[in-house]
Amino acid sequence: MTHDAQQLAEESLTRRVLASFAGTPDDRLREVMQSLVTHLHAFIRDVRLTEAEWQAGIDFLTGCGHITDDRRQEFILLSDVLGASMQTITVANPVDGRITESTVFGPFFVEDSPRIPLGGDIAGGAPGQPCWVQGRVTDVAGNPVPGARVEVWEADEDGFYDVQYGDERVAGRAHLFTDDDGRYRFWGLTPTPYPIPHDGPVGRMLAAVNRSPVRAAHLHFMVTAPGLRTLVTHIFVEGDPQLAAGDSVFGVKDSLISAFDVQPAGTPTPDGRDLGGRDWARAEFDIVLAPADA
Ligand code: BEZ
Ligand code: FE
């Protein structure tokens, strides 16, 4: 077969597949499916995908399916390490210097976390350096947002979320509500870097391409308030060497890096809590929410 004939055969197949979606009644579904086919065919032709490589891809996705259950979502991990989760978030949240930036949700959020009062402790016995976190939630005009629900969750100093222990513990997570001035404050743990689950197909893929599964140290936030857009984000730890080494799911944004100032043992705490001679840290994170319809 000549080069031209080969090219015609490949292009004609793509055109026929595209045409098979032409009758899709829903305009958006048709647009998404036809674009997917266009890019998928272009990828296969670009890398000259072999049949063995195609089969390896099918086996990989099958493996992702087999390890996925109520507690483990390998397809989201795959989306995360490919940067697809962050690209979707980036497209959905246009850059606006006034609004706190969003980042990846991750698989470790749990509904119905314990409610704590302002100044309460989210650790629930999880090991780590105590860390006082405070800030203020406002709208883009600078008005305080009272009664905003602030959900926070994080790994312990060993790099594990409570749900990864396989027992019923609830630790390193809670929610609280901002006061009349939009302010919040709580005790958490100074975040430390930890690896995303890497004992499955995604971990093997990362190893094959010589990539680390480690995430930069972070504390998760989800902030909701009536009439304002829900914010899903993290704060990262200034000076964490993993920031330079790279976050395995591409979640870092410069505006989300905060100082976690370590206070020597014996430094009075903001609420008078006695930490029994331990050092502790403090961080400040002000949050600006977009209007719901922005
Ligand atoms: C997390 O930060 O909890 C997370 C995000 C993406 C993949 C795995 C974990
Ligand atoms: Fe996390």
- 268 phi/psi in degrees, rounded to 5: -55, 140
Give tens-digit pLDDT for 247-277. 999 999 999 999 999 999 999 999 999 998 8
Identify the pLDDT of residue 94: 82
Kindly report the CATH class assigned to 78-289.
Answer: mainly beta
Determine the pLDDT at residue 294: 66
Closest ligand 1 atom, residue 85 Cα: 6
148 near 177, Cβ under 8 Å?
A: yes
Q: Helix crossing, 51-67 with 201-208: angle to 10°?
A: 140
Q: Which atom of ligand 1 is nearest to the CA of 196?
A: 8
Answer yes or no: is the C-beta of 194 below 6 A from any ligand 1 atom.
Answer: no
Note the pLDDT tens digit of each residue in 209-254: 999 999 999 999 999 999 999 999 999 999 999 999 999 999 999 9
- For residues 128 and 159, give the distance between their C-alpha atoms in angstroms, rounded to a whole number: 10
pTM over 0.85: yes
pLDDT tens digits, one per residue of 110-159: 999 999 999 999 999 999 999 999 999 999 999 999 999 999 999 999 99
At residue 198, does pLDDT exceed 90? yes
Q: What's the alpha-carbon Rg for the chain, to the nearest Å?
A: 23
Q: Indicate the domain borders of the chain.
A: 4-49, 78-289
Distance 287 CA to ligand 2 centre (A): 19
- Residue whose CA is at the smallest distance from ligand 1 atom 3: 106
Q: Is the pLDDT of residue 95 over 90?
A: no
Atom of ligand 1 at shortest range from CA of 106: 5
- Residues 66, 70, 75, 77, Cα dihedral to 10°: -120
Q: How high is the pLDDT of residue 244? A: 92
Cα–Cα distance measured from residue 166 to residue 178, given in angstroms and rounded to the nearest whole number: 32
Percent of the chain scoring above 70 in pLDDT = 99
- For 101-110, the pLDDT digits (tens) are 999 999 899 9
CA distance 272 to 286: 23
Q: Is 159 in the pocket of ligand 1 (CB under 6 A)?
A: no
Separation of CA 96 and ligand 2 centre (Å)? 24
Q: What is the 3-state secondary structure (H, E, C) of 248-280?
A: CCCCCCHHHEECCEEECCCCCCCCCCCCCCCCE
